[in-house]
Amino acid sequence: MTIDTNQYYELSFQIISNVGMAKSLAMEALYAAKEGNFEVVEEKLSESKKFYVEGHKMHASLIQKEASGEKLDFSLMLMHAEDQLMNVDTITLLVTEMIEMYKRFK
Amino acid sequence: MKTIMLVCVAGMSTSLLVSKMQKAAEEQGIEANIFARSAQEIEFALEQNDVDVLLLGPQVRYMRKQIEEELKGKNIPIEAINMQDYGMMNGQKVLEQALQIIASK
């Protein structure tokens, strides 16, 4: 069964929505660290991770389809979703390190 | 006429939600001007439009405080879009959210 444009859009939007939440929560964790509010930091980071994993799962399901030989059409919206997925990966990595720095400056 | 502005990273994915919201508004005979902009364009967009409510996509929710500063004294409420409604591209629900905020302004 091939994926039509509508399904692509639905999946893309769900990826964007989930990784978007992950990004916002990671940034909110960093802001909390800036204020020295480290309990909130941990909450935000673990919540962020949950959303990231959800988005990642949706993306992985598409990769698996293609890897199993299914031909998928190109979609700019999906590319946009991947763009944000990658972005969150980088942001989270750096935010986690920056939070460690805030902890040391305490 | 209600003016609803949505904000996301590029104004790209959200434009799709805009068309869904416009459709929902049309179906109910609600006169609404709905559009999407990137976070960088907010100031410019506000100069051009008389905005009633500003809604943030999940990916720019963290900018809320910063945007609130920019909106100070303008009496434009700002709220994050429910991430489930955003993910499902539920134009009807997001429109309802926007109209509720305007009504309680």
Chain B residue nearest residue A21, CA to CA:
B58
User: Hey, are the CB atoms on A31 and B62 less than 8 Å from each other?
Assistant: yes
Percentage of chain A surpassing pLDDT 70?
Answer: 98
CATH of the domain at B86: 3.40.50.2300
Which residue among A10, A28, A80 places its CB closest to the CB of B62?
A28
Q: Does the model's ipTM exceed the 0.90 cut?
A: no
**Chain A residue numbers touching B79 (CB-CB < 8 A):** none
Delineate the domains of chain A, giving CATH numbers in brackets: 17-65+74-105 (1.20.58.80)
Q: Which two tokens stand for residue A97?
A: 């390190």
- Exposed, middle or buried by CB within 10 Å (0-12, 13-18, 19+), for B101? middle
Chain A residue nearest residue B11, CA to CA:
A80
User: Hey, are the CB atoms on A17 and B10 less than 8 Å from each other?
Assistant: no
Catalytic residues of A: 80
The b-or-e profile of A82-104 (16+ CB within 10 A means b, else e) is bebbebbeebbeebeeebeebee
In 3D space, the residue among A59, A89, A51 whose CA is nearest the CA of residue A75 turns out to be: A59
Q: Which residue has the tokens 């979703």?
A: A81
Domain count, chain B: 1
Please name the helix (run of DSSP H) or strand (run of DSSP E) that holds residue A27, with its range, or none: helix A5-34
**Chain B residue numbers touching A25 (CB-CB < 8 A):** 62
User: Which residue range forms the structural domain that includes residue B65?
Assistant: 2-103
Dihedral sign computed on CA atoms, order A5, A6, A7, A13: positive
Q: What are phi and psi of B56, to 5 degrees?
A: -105, 135
Q: Between A15 and B72, where is the model more confident? A: A15
Question: For each of chain B's 105 residues, which pLDDT tens digit applies?
Answer: 899 999 988 777 788 899 999 999 999 999 999 999 998 889 899 999 999 999 999 999 999 999 999 888 888 999 999 999 999 999 999 999 999 999 998
Residue B73, pLDDT score: 86
